[in-house]
Amino acid sequence: MKNEKDDIRRIEELLSQLPEREVPGDINDRVMDMIIEEKPSFLKRLKEMYYGTFVINIQPAKCGMLAAAVAAAFFLGSLNAGSYETDMELPVVSDLTSEASYYIGRGLYEGGEPERALVYLKRAAMLDPGKPEYGLWQAVAFQAVGDSELERKQYQRMVSKYPNYLPALLNLGHNQLENGDLDGALASYRQILALNPQDQSVLYNIGLIYKMQGDAVEESKAWRQYLSANRTGRKSYRAVSHLNEMGRFDFRTAQLGYRQVVIHPEALLSDNEALREHEISWLAEQYMRTPGKTLNIVVFDAAGQAVAKERAMLLREELLSLLPEDKHVNISWFGQAEMIVKETKKSALKQSVLVFSQPDNLTTLKERRI
């Protein structure tokens, strides 16, 4: 008994020296679900963590899961520490369950050792091909070591077996795009959109593919589809820029104080009440995040002054109904098309709207970011 207690004390001292790092978020639930009334000794549990792989016992599946969870805690912590040196040796891969191999492989990958990670991730995928995440991370490790061909083949095998597994589909599309297989990437991305129509990276990359292929019609559709679902972030501003460069101004940027926001002018001027109200609500929300007190709106309409004025007044009325009393809206209007010149391209917009504001005090007021 005394020797066992001494062993436990030494092991606890060793573990206490490990740096504190984040472990998998579900480790607590995993461990709590596996607790049984009669707990084995600490030494026995540590031993079974590594060598209980092929031992038939009362709860073999749960024991393997517990081993993987604990392995993740130890190895993700020690490997991510970088400069930490320890006498702890990695267990022999042939002695491990698929799940323990997976978590150690993930730990090695996160620790910047993808070559070593591959050994464990390959074994995890081999032992349990029914878990697609094992094969996925094997492909990710292939990418990390610079073998894009094996990476792609692994994703293709997974997609063949699991056609609706989005992570593999997405990474396959990215791999194909990076390696110049535009048609292949487009096919993968279209398959993803059938499952998840709002995937931001896919919508954006489809626009890039059509741009590289020189298909202006489909490119324009792609940017508009992207911006209909995504209005914030750098990619949104790039999408607007791509669209405007094509002479399309369905979406534009508006300068609100220090910030640029993406607006949909066609919606603001639409006769479709629901569409217009949705866009006005978006604009009001963005304007309330700026310290400025006055929003300026300029409406252009080739149908004449009266029509332009009516649209401007309607916009102001609907905006003011959503804004606090200390916010104001100034309007102006022109009974003509707006002329836009971008490099060598000239565009005449029969109906358009400009929106802008600036803070009352540029030196002291701050805006709230998106």
> What was the pLDDT predicted at 308?
96
Whether residue 130 is found in the same domain as residue 20: yes
Please name which of 220, 147, 203 lies closest in space to residue 179, comparing C-alpha atoms.
Answer: 147
Do 224 and 304 lie in one domain? The reply is: no
263 strand-pairing partners = 252
Residue 208 lies in a domain: yes
How many residues are recorded in the chain?
370
Residues 225 and 273 in one domain: no
CA distance 125 to 136: 9
The Cα–Cα gap between 238 and 245 comes to: 10
Residue 75 counted as domain residue: yes
Same domain, 241 and 261: no
Residue 86: give its domain's CATH number: 1.25.40
Q: What is the pLDDT of residues 45-74, one digit of tens each?
A: 333 433 333 332 334 444 444 444 444 534
> Where does the chain have alpha helices with state H?
2-16, 27-34, 42-51, 60-80, 98-110, 114-127, 132-144, 148-161, 166-178, 182-195, 200-213, 216-229, 234-245, 265-268, 273-287, 305-320
Question: Can you tell me the distance from the alpha carbon of 101 to that of 52, in angstroms, rounded to the nearest whole number?
Answer: 13
Backbone angles phi, psi at 291, to 5 degrees: -80, -10
Q: Which of 192, 218, 248 is a domain's end point?
A: 248
* pLDDT confidence of residue 54: 33
166-178 and 148-161 helices cross at what angle (nearest 10)?
150
Q: Please report whether residue 14 resides in a domain.
A: yes
In a shared domain, residues 276 and 232: no
Does a structural domain hold residue 243?
Answer: yes
Domain count, the chain: 3
Residue with tokens 């092991």: 11
Q: Are 223 and 262 in a shared domain?
A: no
At 262, which CATH number?
A: 3.30.1330
Q: Is 169 part of any domain?
A: no
| 24 & 141 share domain | yes
* pLDDT for the residue numbered 95: 80
- Does residue 336 form part of some domain? yes
Query: Using CA atoms, how far apart are residues 190 and 206, in angstroms rounded to an integer?
Result: 9
- Cβ–Cβ < 8 Å for 191, 171: no
Domain-located, residue 156: no
116 and 215 belong to one structural domain: no
Residues of the domain holding 306: 253-357
CB 332 within 8 A of CB 355: no
pLDDT of the residue at 169: 96
- Confidence (pLDDT) at 295: 95
Q: What does the pLDDT read at residue 358? A: 82
Residue 65 lies in a domain: yes
Same domain? For 55 and 109 the reply is yes
Low-confidence ranges of the chain (pLDDT < 50): 3-4, 7-8, 11, 14-15, 18-24, 27-28, 30-32, 34-71, 73-75, 77-79, 81-87, 363-370
The reply to whether 128 and 22 lie within a common domain is yes
Strands 328-334 and 294-301: parallel
Query: Are 290 and 353 within one domain?
Result: yes
Which tokens hold the place of 154?
């692994």
Query: Which among 114, 124, 123, 120 is positioned nearest to 151, based on CA atoms?
Result: 114
Indicate the DSSP class of residue 359: -
Can you give the pLDDT at residue 56?
29
The answer on 43 and 136 residing in a single domain is yes
Query: Which residue stretches of 26-147 are H helix?
Result: 27-34, 42-51, 60-80, 98-110, 114-127, 132-144
Write down which residue in 100, 116, 146 finishes a domain.
Answer: 146
